[in-house]
């Protein structure tokens, strides 16, 4: 598992954890849709960690059903993360108008970092989805 590119990408799920931490440390107003971003980042972080444990322990038994499940999970993660990334970018652009005050400037910069890591996580999940699809088709 850890010798393939797909296996190494599991470790890069830490970017999802960074999104989670950065969004949790920012200023959230009431009508803010960052709850979806938090759900996606926590869900994908926990599921990727569980997925890593299952595959590292050999629980998948190298069967085609697990290859299918791997592909479907990463496809769902890509769709979720892409929607969360767009939402987070929209909220961050909206924060640009109020970021003139000193306390809001810090939150604006944290949100920018969260947007960057969110798109990086989306890209990594997309690459893993493609590699999972190739592996799934090889069965």
**Local confidence band at 68 (pLDDT 50, 70, 90 cut-offs):** very high
Would you say 83 and 37 are in contact if contact means Cβ atoms under 8 Å apart? no
Would you say 111 and 92 are in contact if contact means Cβ atoms under 8 Å apart? yes
Would you say 48 and 13 are in contact if contact means Cβ atoms under 8 Å apart? yes
CA distances from 4 to 7, 10, 133, 139 (A): 5, 10, 14, 16
Question: CA-CA distance, 85 to 111, in Å (whole number)?
Answer: 11
Would you say 81 and 27 are in contact if contact means Cβ atoms under 8 Å apart? no
Q: What is the mean pLDDT of residues 41-68?
A: 86
Question: CA-CA distance, 34 to 26, in Å (whole number)?
Answer: 10
Residue 108 is predicted with a pLDDT of 84
- Record the tokens describing residue 91, joined without a space: 């909220």
Question: CA-CA distance, 121 to 1, in Å (whole number)?
Answer: 20
Question: CA-CA distance, 94 to 40, in Å (whole number)?
Answer: 21
**Local confidence band at 6 (pLDDT 50, 70, 90 cut-offs):** low
Residue 61 is predicted with a pLDDT of 81
**Local confidence band at 138 (pLDDT 50, 70, 90 cut-offs):** confident
């Amino acid at each position: 598992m850890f010798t393939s590119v797909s296996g190494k990408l599991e470790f890069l799920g830490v970017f999802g954890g960074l999104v989670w931490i950065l969004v949790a440390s920012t200023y959230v107003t009431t009508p803010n849709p960052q709850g979806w971003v938090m759900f996606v980042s926590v869900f994908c972080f926990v599921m990727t960690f569980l997925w890593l444990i299952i595959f590292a322990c050999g629980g998948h038994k190298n069967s085609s059903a697990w290859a299918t499940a791997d592909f479907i999970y990463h496809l769902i993660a890509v769709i979720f993360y892409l929607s969360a990334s767009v939402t987070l970018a929209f909220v961050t652009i909206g924060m640009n108008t109020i970021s003139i005050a000193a306390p809001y400037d810090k939150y604006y910069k944290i949100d920018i970092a969260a947007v960057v890591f969110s798109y990086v996580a989306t890209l990594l999940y997309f690459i893993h989805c493609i590699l999972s699809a190739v592996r799934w088709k090889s069965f």
